[in-house]
Amino acid sequence: MPRTKSYTSDDIAQRALGVFWANGYAATSMAELVEATGVSRKSIYADYGGKLALFVACFDQYQNLVVTPALRRLEHSDAGLDEIAAYFEQQISLAEQTSTPRPGCFVGNSTTEVAPHNAAVAEKVKHHNQRLLKGFTTAIGNAIRAEEKPMHVKELAEELVVFTTGLWAHSRIEPNCDHLRKLASTYLKNLARSLA
């Protein structure tokens, strides 16, 4: 009778994510993916059909493995500025485990490298940004005292998404993670001041 599979498609994508994240799409070869996943070309092609499809699947893995854990505290209805800070700290401490050139944010990298050429990737990028925006919006909304006017919460959250994109881009070539921490905390400090 048939031998049972020793790994799932997700296993492949999880391991492929690490390579794509570190090197980008174009600079990652199938040979590297075979090596990094420990799975033969035959099986990769059987499960995904090709390099691009595998890359797209990595977005879901990135959400599961990186984004969801990082947003764990932020994605509660009572989250506030501390939970935004926790998101930054989580991602920076992750970056700290690598050295320059750091991987940065898989989504941010794909925004410039792949999304302009590929609709499926562009869609995933948009979805990620909306997820981030939603978390930031909740947190900033909660940080405003109820008796205050609603201000422009959505606007401030959008600003923060843009800043975040820039921060992870800088993280690629910034060797000093404490500098990244400083950038994040200064931004949040000023944000808090503007809400007071």
Residues that bind its own copies (CB under 8 A): 24, 26-27, 100-101, 104, 108-109, 111-113, 115-117, 122, 125-126, 152, 155-156, 158-159, 161-167, 169-170, 172-173, 182-183, 186-187, 190, 193-194
Amino acid at 144: I
Q: Which stretch binds DNA (CB under 7 A): 33-41, 61-69, 124-132, 163-171?
A: 33-41
Q: Which stretch binds DNA (CB under 7 A): 27-35, 75-83, 85-93, 138-146?
A: 27-35
Does position 40 interact with DNA (CB under 7 A)? The reply is yes
Number of residues located near DNA, criterion CB under 7 A: 23
User: CB of 78: closest distance to its own copies in angstroms?
Assistant: 25
For residues 66 and 139, the answer to whether their CB atoms sit within 8 Å is no
CB of 14 to DNA, least distance (A): 14
Cβ distance 86 to 74 under 8 Å? Answer: yes
As a dihedral over the C-alpha atoms of residue 177, residue 179, residue 183, residue 185, rounded to 10 degrees, the angle is: 70
Q: How far apart are CA 49 and CA 41, in angstroms?
A: 10
Per CB under 7 A, 5 contacts DNA? yes
Among 47, 13, 53, 49, smallest CA distance to 33 is for 13
Do you find a cis peptide bond into 2, omega within 30 degrees of 0? no
Residue placing its CB nearer to its own copies in the complex, 96 or 159 = 159
Comparison of 40 and 186: residue with beta carbon closer to DNA: 40
Based on the shown chain and the rule CB under 7 A, indicate whether residue 52 belongs to the binding site for DNA.
yes
* Contact (CB, 8 A) for 87 and 66: no
Residue 173 interface partner, choices DNA, its own copies, none, CB cut-off 5-8 Å depending on type: its own copies
Q: Which amino acid is at 58?
A: C
Type of residue numbered 161: V
- Of the pair 39, 107, the CB lying nearest its own copies is at 107
The answer to whether the beta carbons of residues 34 and 43 sit under 8 Å apart is no
